[in-house]
Structure formats: C-alpha cells, structure tokens
Amino acid sequence: MTLPTPDITIHAAYASVVEDEEDGMLFIGFAQGEEEDEPYALFRQPLGGGPVWFAVNDEDFGAEDAVQSIIQDARGLTVTIHPDHIASFGWAATIAIRIGPQTEDAEQALEALRAIYGPIFKA
C-alpha cells in the first residue's frame, strides 16, 4: 500500500494519554517538542465515549469527527482527514505523525488511539 504524501508532518518526541476526570475528557497527544509553539497532534474524546476532536498545531486547525482513517506503519501514523473537514485543517488532507523508538510513551498513546478509533485504525 502506498500512502499519500502528507500535507503536514510531525516528528513526535513525546506522546501522552491523559484522562482528565474534572473535565471528563481523554486527551491523546503527540508533540515534536516541549515548547508551546512546536508542532503537535491532539485527539480529544469524552471519557464515556462519543465524538473525537482532532487538532493539529492549533485548536483553530481541528474538527470533531474529522478523521477518515489512521494507518500505522513502520514510520508512525498517517491520518487522513474526511473530505468534508479538510478546510478546518488549512486544506491539509493527510497528517503524518512520525513515531520512532525514541518517542516517549508512544505505545500507550497508540493503544489508546486503537481503542477509540476501532476499525478505522489499521496497522
């Protein structure tokens, strides 16, 4: 399978899974660095299930139920945005999240994504 050339690429140094009981939300994130202005991808879902919000680099570049598919390969993830939502991502249709052996907490984040996306997450 040949994956499309990504419109946005994030080289994840860190991954995280946070269950915020106070807000009732699950956050799954991949960040290129620790600074606020560094690239990131964030998935957010109510703890009880429901629609997933996906954002890249800024809350303004995100949407609910925007992910059409997620493909995991040896380099990481390729997230394909549903055609109805690409305008919300600055016309980016695919986002690559590069995950290497140095990516902190990557396996925990990948497991959480598999759980919330089910059949649209393919490895």
Q: pLDDT by residue (tens digit) across 74-123?
A: 999 999 999 999 999 999 999 999 999 999 999 999 999 999 999 999 98
For residue 52, pLDDT beyond 80: yes
Provide φ and ψ at 117, rounded to 5°.
-100, -15
For residue 2, pLDDT beyond 80: no
User: Long-range contacts of range 74-83, CB-CB < 8 Å, 24 or more positions apart?
Assistant: 75/99, 76/12, 76/100, 77/110, 77/113, 78/3, 78/4, 78/6, 79/41, 79/54, 80/4
Q: pLDDT-derived band of residue 15, with 50, 70 and 90 as boundaries?
A: very high
In sequence order, the 6+-apart residues with CB closer than 8 A to the CB of 23 are none
User: Which among 77, 72, 69, 73 is positioned nearest to 98, based on CA atoms?
Assistant: 77
Element (H, E) at 115: helix 106-117
Residues 28, 48: Cα–Cα separation, whole Å: 15
Nearest 5°: the CA angle 68, 73, 78 is 30
Element (H, E) at 82: none
For residue 1, pLDDT beyond 70: no
The residues that bridge with 72 in the sheet, in sequence order, are 77
User: Which among 42, 46, 47 is positioned nearest to 67, based on CA atoms?
Assistant: 42
How much is the pTM? 0.93
